Amino acid sequence: MPDVISTAPARPRLWVALDVHKFSIVAATLPPEGGKPEVARIETTEKAIRRYITKLGGPDGLAVSYEAGPGGFALHRLLTQMGVACDVIAPSLIPIRAGDRVKTDKRDAKKLVTLFRAGLLRFVAPPTLETEGLRDLLRCRDDLRCARTAARNRVLKQLLRHHRIYRDGTAWTKKHRAWVNAQRLEDPLADLALEQILAHLDGIERQLDLLDQELDRIAKTDRWASQVTALCAFRGISTLTALGLIAEIGDFARFSHPRELASWLGITPSEYSSGESQHRGHITKAGNKHARRLLVEAAWHYRHAPRRPATGPQPDERAWQAQVRLHHRYRHLTQTGKRTTVTNIAIARELVAFLWAAMTDQPLRGTDPVDPQEAIAA
């Protein structure tokens, strides 16, 4: 995970940590040196927050932090608008004492401000308002996709209970959907239940169709078009996948090396080594699960031999290098006995390097001191 640079002044006059909840904020303050944390409780309203900042002497010289959580980044935007240097803490990277068995809001705020002043906290990169909006829209689509899968399963399970089994091909093709719509159950109550489930499924599918049309329009706007085009040049990345990666990752340039991006995505191996003993385990899965899923799905396409499409946009030089390199890597790993799932994760790690290079305008192979093809060991 990359180190997000703190926005705190070099010599702040006061360190402030906020333990934020739905209706209240517990704030702890510390002077630059020495002293004990002073604690106050305020409401989460804008009026109360502005009054508290004024009580502390105004925004100049304050260094404020709070944990990322379900409240989002609205507080960060408000404080930034007021001129306060504000950092958002990564909750999973806060140091924890093993013997600490008491947890209260006041203790949490005091611990945060002490760690903040000591420089022991790690921070996240808050997204812009438009990037967060795009992320919300794409996650909404993902929720609808999961709801469609659940609705389809309910339809098939009810038909199976009444021994209605489709035997003419793959489920949920147009032919299969016509067969499902034509089914009528003998019991009127069971038939009514099937009718309601199908109506629910129809509604979800209409929502998805409308949302896909809107996302396709968004992808062509000036704000996102260049980034989407750059990502869609790679095999396995469609418009929706490209938008998803952009929304979840944000600015690729905030990662100084593709290894940092791979670590943030949680696709690097876990490791527990001590002395002469070395053990590397499964991937960490410690990062953004939405972007990780999109990336792993895209990596599966590289099991096929490289090819240029007969029609439509052609892959650029970097995307073609990725096809050749990653397919060769896939064949090598599978032929040496690696399981396909393990192989695909290795391909995803290397694909990350190609995407990072494309989105940060790195020179092509042979001129880049940080060669994306060699940056991450599979």
Asked whether residue 199 falls in the same domain as residue 295, the answer is no
Phi-psi bin for 227: left (phi > 0), alpha (psi -120 to 50), beta? alpha
CA distance 181 to 68: 46
Helix-strand-coil split of the chain, %, nearest 5: 50, 10, 40
pLDDT in tens, 223-232: 999 999 999 9
Q: What is the mean pLDDT of residues 87-103?
A: 90
Examine the pLDDT at 304 and tell me if it is beyond 70: yes
For the record, the structure tokens of 67 come out as 């944990």
Q: Is 195 left (phi over 0), alpha (psi -120 to 50) or beta?
A: alpha
CB 44 within 8 A of CB 25: yes
| Residue 162 one-letter amino acid | H
Whether residue 235 is found in the same domain as residue 202: no
Provide the pLDDT for residue 368. Answer: 43
Residue 369 is predicted with a pLDDT of 41
What distance separates the 2 farthest-apart alpha carbons in the chain?
A: 80
Tell me, yes or no, whether 231 and 214 share the same domain.
Answer: no
Residues making up the chain, counted from first to last = 378
Confidence of residue 244 (pLDDT cuts 50, 70, 90): very high
Helical spans, DSSP H, in 91-168: 105-118, 129-161
> Cα 309 to the chain's mean position, in Å?
30
Tokens 């007021």 locate to 82
Please give the distance of CA 310 from its chain centroid, rounded to a whole number: 34
Are both 111 and 138 inside the same structural domain?
no
236 and 296 share one domain = yes
**Cβ-based burial of 100 (10 A; exposed 0-12, middle 13-18, buried ≥19):** exposed
Domain boundary among 173, 198, 219: 219
Confidence class for position 3, pLDDT limits 50, 70, 90: low
Kindly report the number of other CB atoms within 10 A of residue 109's CB atom. Answer: 25
370 has pLDDT over 50: no
Q: Are residues 212 and 234 in the same domain?
A: no
In a domain, 377, yes or no: no
Q: Is residue 67 part of a domain?
A: yes
The span from the CA of 181 to the CA of 175, in Å, is 10
Contact criterion met (CB below 8 Å) for 65 and 87: yes
Give dist(CA 158, CA 163) in Å, integer: 9
**Number of domains observed in the structure of the chain:** 3
Tell me how far apart the alpha carbons of residues 326 and 344 are, in angstroms, rounded to a whole number: 10
Q: Are 288 and 262 in contact (CB under 8 A)?
A: no
Average pLDDT of span 61-75: 95
- Please give the Cα distance from 66 to 87 (Å, whole number): 7
Does residue 298 belong to any structural domain of this protein?
Answer: yes
Provide the mean pLDDT of the chain: 92
Asked if 332 and 300 sit in the same domain, the reply is yes
DSSP 11: S
Here the CATH number for the domain that contains residue 107 is 3.30.420.40
Residue 48 CA: distances (Å) to CA of 51, 64, 74: 5, 16, 15
Q: Is the pLDDT of residue 313 over 50?
A: yes
Q: Is the pLDDT of residue 6 over 90?
A: no
Q: Are residues 207 and 280 in the same domain?
A: no
Establish if 93 belongs to a structural domain. yes
Are both 89 and 199 inside the same structural domain?
no
**374: in domain:** no
Last residue in a domain, options 219, 247, 272: 219
Same domain, 190 and 271: no
Q: Count other Cβ atoms within 10 Å, centred on residue 117.
A: 23
Dihedral of CA atoms 247, 248, 251, 255 in degrees, nearest 10, equals -170
99, part of any domain: yes
Token pair in block for residue 308: 């240029």
Domain that includes residue 147, residue range: 129-219
CA–chain centroid gap for 299, Å, is: 17
Kindly state whether residues 166 and 273 are assigned to the same domain: no
SS3 (DSSP) at 262: helix
Judge whether 7 lies within some domain. Answer: no
For residues 167 and 211, state if they share a domain. yes
Domain boundary (163, 188, 219) is at 219
The mean per-residue pLDDT over the stretch 328-344 comes to 95
Whole-model pTM: value is 0.88
Query: Which of 247, 256, 259 has its CA nearest to residue 284?
Result: 259
- Alpha-carbon distance of 172 to 179, in angstroms, equals 10
pLDDT tens digits, 176-190: 999 999 999 999 999
Is residue 4 a part of any domain in this protein? no
* Nearest alpha-carbon partner for 161 in 138, 139, 205, 191: 191
**Burial group, residue 196, by CB count within 10 angstroms (0-12, 13-18, 19+):** exposed
The fraction of the chain above a pLDDT of 90, given in percent, is 83
Mean pLDDT of 50-73: 95
